[in-house]
Amino acid sequence: MITALTGFAILLLIIVVVRVPIAFAMGLVGFFGFAYLQGLGFDNFMDFRWNGALSMASKRVIDTAQEYSLSVIPLFILMGNFVTKSGLSQELYAASNAFLGHRKGGLAMATVVACGGFSAICGSSLATSATMAKVAMPPMRKYGYSDSLATATIAAGGSLGILIPPSVILVIYGLLTETSIRELFAAGFIPGLLGILLYLLAVRYVVWRNPASGPCGDKLTWPERFKALSGVWGVLTLFIIVMGGIYLGIFTPTEAAGIGAGGAFFIALARKSLSWASLFDILTDTGRTTTMLFGVVIGALIFSNFINRAGLPADLLAFVQGLEVSPMVVILVILGVYIVLGMVFESLSMLLLTVPIFFPLVQSLGFDLVWFGIVVVVVTEISLITPPVGMNVFVLSAVLRDVKASTIFKGVTPFWCADIIRLILVTLIPAISLFLPELLYRN
Amino acid sequence: ETTLRVASWLPPTHPQNAVVWPTWSKWVEEATEGRVKVAIEYGMGHPKTMFELVEDGVVDASFSYHGYVPGRFKLTQAVEQPLLGTSAEAASVAHWRIHNKYFAKAQEHDGLEVIGLFTHGPGQIHMAKPVSSLGDLKGKKIRLGGGVQGEIGHRMGVTAVGAPAPKVYEMMQQGVIDGVFIPMGEQKSLRLKEVAKNVVALPGGMYLGSFAMFMNPDFLADLDAKDREAIMSVSGEKLSAMAGKAWDAGDAAGLEAAKEAGVNITMVKDGDALSKEFVELTKGMDEAFLKSVADRGVDAKAALTELREVARNYK
Amino acid sequence: MALSAWITAHYEEKGPVAWLAFFLELIAAFTLFFLMALTCADVFGRYFLDNAVDGTTELTEMGIAILVFAELPVVTWRGGHVVVDILDKMLGNTLIKVLGLLAAFLMSTSLYFLAVRIYELAARSHRRGEVTEYLQMPVGYIVEYIAVMSWVTAGAMITYGVYRLLTTSRD
Ligand code: NA
Ligand code: NA
């Protein structure tokens, strides 16, 4: 326990103070921590058998870079990028804005709804945030929204991307626990809608406290509203292709990513919104995001090898089991652990680190693994906007070069509270997540 | 006191982790009078990586499926060839003996100390819809794991779909695949009883799957001579037989679970039309195997003959 | 000429580095497009031609590695990896640059030494004749590629990456 916690402390120090990129910091701490557990000390630095730790790290790099199931990451992101390029995300935003924009904080509310809609075709929260940042930030600035509300809305709304299907994170959870991915997708739907609803309330709360942070936009007439609505068919078509294909068993969720990207490519072609240069941009932009994500995954895996060897998962498990309390309290303790870990971990690495530790325990307590998956994803969403390491916030500050991460974190608090409320609801009322899978697949 | 770290990759409930490693660990502790303790570690990576993790001392021991590293392991396919017709236990013992007598010198396990060899139980046909002849399988979408079963599938003219074993359930459920070739135990452990309601069990199955258990040579060298000998005394043939037996028991449990779930199981007997069809289908596979290992510098033909003799006469 | 002008306009890098970035990203772009087309062809083939594309899984696996490691040098030298910047307001500009140099040094050295081991593993894989299941492609080539691209990343980071760090002012 002490070794692992020291490792955590050093990791935090070098990512926060020394500003080493997270991927490399996790890899380095994991590597040296592992070597330390294999007997590395100051006295034997020169004649230490380095090959063990080096091979461990090398194999993580080699294997992860060639992991078939991770192909969903570039392909779902690519789908999102094609969709953005063909103007579908603008249309989504325009449609939401047509109905909500004239209210106080309306543009922010429209952003939340559009994020929800975009999540329904995009597998990744990072892609959702990045896209909506480009679409929603200019109008919110134009109408005098405060940077902290505007960006926090996008960061929070973007976190819906991993819950509303399709979702890269749900795919990985399904792989780790051998749970049906299509049941997970179905289960994520209602909690996703609940998330939208609660975020809308969070926006209302912010503008109630400080009306200047979200002034009203223009009011549109009903014919104008219906016109805006008619632009949403593209998103709808793609959603039906991707989800329908999965539900009807035409392809696997992994393949759905490729089909979705292909479909989005043809929609973009049909709308004549592609040139060679923009196609190149979309592909390379997806490539860069993918590389960044793979870096974090690889770093997290090397770090997890160290944490595992140091015995932290077993210690945590023993701790939870030793409490001798009711199963639901165990779940709440696990969630507490997630929220704490969520401060330092990015969603995917947190999932990779914790799910293999906890799911056998949860299963043995008699809980439904599909339900637990949704609970885990909701708590993971929280980690995306929890400082100091909130990936959505970082992506946003990378896309909007002139906004600091600290500004976004400041605005995120009400949304964080909304997330906690949703977490409590989803945890205590399993039917919220299990209603659809029961209805569709379990009869 | 030394800790021997075993990396494992199947679920903790799988016979390999619930029976084989715990039993061996008890043997090791007894034989070394408690000086060596065995600890299982999960989550170290893909099964194919275990060979190198052990070789480079990342962990001290592990096990893996030879078919995950095509090209490196060819001779191990001798035990996988069709029509052996024995239990996994008998096949495992023969596998171990033949390896040491004929194959070890080809150095396929270079860098590793092999402490046991075993096979999973006979691979059978698990389908969503019933089949009455092997001809019915032509054009069907079947998940294949490669190696000998890949060759069999190819000869049947199936549309091969590649996927890791844990994905089979979902692909069956969705109809992405029509069936899978896999041992009976997976009716229970992969929950195929819910989605693959029709099983055709050929006598002795279609093929076997070859696994190795291995240790890091440096770890062994660093131990006291008496502990090293103690560990080796509870490994080898004894460990191989125990592992094969545990996987057989897994298959029996799978069959039981399948029957309970009302799976339609066709037990084909020797001489039935389906059995004859299969024998016809696999003609020439021995020769193809022997040709593929011609560069290994071992008498594979004699080995294959003796392997079958040992396995079939076991017990 | 049109291409040259486009690259100059399109890339923040200058001269040969811009061409290198373009070349690497071109590989990545081709690979990603291929991955998308491959999945679609595989599904299409399975339903309409009774024949899935043999080795789709293998090609996909190789494709991801090619994609990720083609982009790695560019992402790294541009400082595109995720960094925690919550203390930026407290740290002075000079200190941030010094820390950036330290990070660049750590990243380059660790990648360099890791790649040495990766290259050794590739050689070992070649020596043992490891191939892929369906296509019988030697596994070691992709591993060698990963090692080489890691060296390229390390080299580019410690030269151009540092140059960029020192000359670009933070906006
Ligand atoms: Na989504
Ligand atoms: Na976080």
Kindly give the distance from the C-alpha atom of residue A341 to the centroid of ligand 2, in angstroms, as a whole number: 8
Q: Which residue of C has its CA nearest to A75?
A: C36
Residues of A in contact with B173 (CB under 8 A): 180, 182, 249
Nearest to A251 among B56, B58, B176 (CB): B176
- Which range has the top average pLDDT, A79-83, C54-58, C59-63? C59-63
SS3 at position B115: strand
Q: How far apart are CA B87 and CA B259, in angstroms?
A: 20
Say what the pLDDT of residue A95 is.
82
SS3 at position C78: coil
List, in sequence order, every residue forming a beta bridge with B179; answer none if it has no partner: B127, B142
Specify the higher pLDDT residue, B189 or C164. C164
Residues 88-127 of B with CB under 8 A from C: 110
Please give the full DSSP string across A102-128, using - where no structure is assigned: TSTTHHHHHHHHHHHHHHTT-S-HHHH
Vertex C24, ends C23 and C30: CA angle to 5°? 90
Specify the higher pLDDT residue, A301 or A415. A415
Average model confidence (pLDDT) across chain C: 89
For C28-51, how does the pLDDT look when each residue is reduced to its tens digit (9 = 90+)?
A: 999 999 999 999 998 888 777 766
Q: How far apart are CA B216 and CA B221, in angstroms?
A: 9
Say what the pLDDT of residue A353 is.
63
* Integer CA distances (angstroms), A300 to A30, A56, A292, B63, in order: 8, 13, 12, 25
Kindly give the distance from the C-alpha atom of residue B193 to the centroid of ligand 2, in angstroms, as a whole number: 41
Torsions phi, psi of B141, nearest 5? -85, 110
pTM of the model as a whole? 0.86
Vertex A234, ends A229 and A239: CA angle to 5°? 110
* Integer CA distances (angstroms), C14 to A278, B205, C19, in order: 21, 65, 8
Q: How far apart are CA A413 and CA A156, in angstroms?
A: 10
Mean pLDDT lowest for which of A386-395, B280-289, C122-131?
A386-395
SS3 at position B38: strand
CB B192 within 8 A of CB B186: yes
Say what the pLDDT of residue B69 is.
92
| CB neighbour burial string for A234-259, b if at least 16 within 10 angstroms, e if fewer | bbeebbebbbebbeebbbbbbbbbbb
Is residue C50 less than 8 Å (CB to CB) from chain B?
Answer: yes
Q: How far apart are CA A128 and CA B75, in angstroms?
A: 50
Kindly give the distance from the C-alpha atom of residue B3 to the centroid of ligand 2, in angstroms, as a whole number: 36
Residue A174 has pLDDT above 80, yes or no: no
Element holding B7 (H helix, E strand): strand B2-8
CB A436 within 8 A of CB A370: no
The answer to whether the Cβ–Cβ distance between A63 and B45 falls below 8 Å is: yes
* Integer CA distances (angstroms), A160 to A54, A121, A156, A183, in order: 38, 11, 7, 18
Amino acid at B64: S
> What is the token pair recorded at C4?
């040259």
Amino acid at A206: V
Element holding C9 (H helix, E strand): helix C2-10
For A205-246, how does the pLDDT look when each residue is reduced to its tens digit (9 = 90+)?
A: 998 988 888 777 777 788 888 887 777 777 778 878 887 887
CB A135 within 8 A of CB A122: no
Nearest to A249 among B58, B164, B174 (CB): B174
Is residue A363 less than 8 Å (CB to CB) from chain B?
Answer: no
Residue A443 has pLDDT above 60, yes or no: no
Kindly give the distance from the C-alpha atom of residue C100 to the centroid of ligand 2, in angstroms, as a whole number: 23
The answer to whether the Cβ–Cβ distance between B70 and C136 falls below 8 Å is: yes
Say what the pLDDT of residue C7 is.
87
Question: Considering chain A, what percentage of its residues have pLDDT values greater than 90?
Answer: 22
Q: How far apart are CA A208 and CA A183, in angstroms?
A: 39
Is residue B173 less than 8 Å (CB to CB) from chain A?
Answer: yes
Please give the full DSSP string across A387-399, using - where no structure is assigned: SS--HHHHHHHHH
* Integer CA distances (angstroms), B107 to B93, B104, B302, in order: 20, 6, 18
Q: How far apart are CA A66 and CA B109, in angstroms?
A: 24
In terms of Cβ atoms closer than 10 Å to its own Cβ (0-12, 13-18, 19+), residue A366 is exposed
CB B143 within 8 A of CB B112: no
Banded pLDDT at A352 (limits 50, 70, 90):
low
* Integer CA distances (angstroms), C18 to C2, C81, C155, in order: 15, 19, 16
CB B126 within 8 A of CB B202: no
Mean pLDDT lowest for which of A390-399, B175-184, C100-109?
A390-399
> What is the token pair recorded at B153?
């599938």
Is residue B2 less than 8 Å (CB to CB) from chain A?
Answer: no
Average pLDDT over residues A147-165: 85
The answer to whether the Cβ–Cβ distance between C131 and B141 falls below 8 Å is: no
Torsions phi, psi of B198, nearest 5? -130, 115
Say what the pLDDT of residue A150 is.
87
Residue A357 has pLDDT above 70, yes or no: no
CB B275 within 8 A of CB B210: no
Give this complex's ipTM: 0.91
Say what the pLDDT of residue C171 is.
47
Average model confidence (pLDDT) across chain A: 84
| Strands B179-183, B123-127: pairing kind | antiparallel
Say what the pLDDT of residue A321 is.
74
Q: How far apart are CA B45 and CA B54, in angstroms?
A: 12
Q: Which residue of C has its CA nearest to A294?
A: C68
- Which range has the top average pLDDT, A254-258, A324-328, A412-416? A412-416
Banded pLDDT at B109 (limits 50, 70, 90):
very high
Is residue C60 less than 8 Å (CB to CB) from chain B?
Answer: no
For A73-114, how does the pLDDT look when each residue is reduced to its tens digit (9 = 90+)?
A: 888 888 888 887 777 777 878 888 888 878 888 888 888 888
Say what the pLDDT of residue B159 is.
82
Ordered alpha helix ranges (H), A38-179: 51-64, 72-85, 88-100, 106-119, 125-142, 147-158, 168-177
Residues of A in contact with B44 (CB under 8 A): 305, 308
Alpha-carbon distance A285 to nearest alpha carbon in chain B (angstroms): 29
Question: Considering chain C, what percentage of its residues have pLDDT values greater than 90?
Answer: 60
Residue A283 has pLDDT above 80, yes or no: yes
Residues of B in contact with A312 (CB under 8 A): none
Say what the pLDDT of residue A175 is.
65
CB C153 within 8 A of CB C10: no
Say what the pLDDT of residue A320 is.
72
SS3 at position A76: helix
> What is the token pair recorded at A336?
């507490």
The answer to whether the Cβ–Cβ distance between A181 and B173 falls below 8 Å is: no
Ordered alpha helix ranges (H), A210-326: 222-229, 233-247, 253-270, 276-309, 312-321
